[in-house]
Amino acid sequence: MNDIDKHIAECERLATFAKAEVLDSEEMKRVESYLRALPALLRDLDRLARLGNKPHYGNSDGNKIAQQALAALSREAGLSERLPEIDK
């Protein structure tokens, strides 16, 4: 399991416990850490989604992968399919 897989597994585990409202203080600190990191992640994914075609979304494989990740995060958060234009 690589580092990304470990982070994903930890996020899934914490989300499950958060729904059940059984997180201890250390787990809540980890949830808060992930939430603090999320804005930078979103900004970086948005930059990758536009790389080479700013201010618009690009059409390279890398652009599309970043766009799909942004769309998945948006859907999971109950937002629109695409995030608003972040930094044009």
Domain ranges (residues) in the chain: 3-76
Q: What does the alpha-carbon distance between residue 32 and residue 16 come to, in Å, rounded to a whole number?
A: 15
> What is the per-residue pLDDT across 43-86, written as a single tens digit (0 to 9) for each?
899 899 999 999 899 999 999 999 999 888 878 777 665 555 54
pTM: 0.68
Measured between its terminal Cα atoms, the distance across the chain in Å is 36
Q: Would you call 23 exposed, middle or buried from its count of C-beta atoms within 10 A (0-12, 13-18, 19+)?
A: middle
Q: What does the alpha-carbon distance between residue 83 and residue 20 come to, in Å, rounded to a whole number?
A: 28
Alpha-carbon torsion angle 37, 6, 10, 66, nearest 10: 50
pLDDT score for 87: 42
Q: What does the alpha-carbon distance between residue 84 and residue 58 come to, in Å, rounded to a whole number?
A: 15
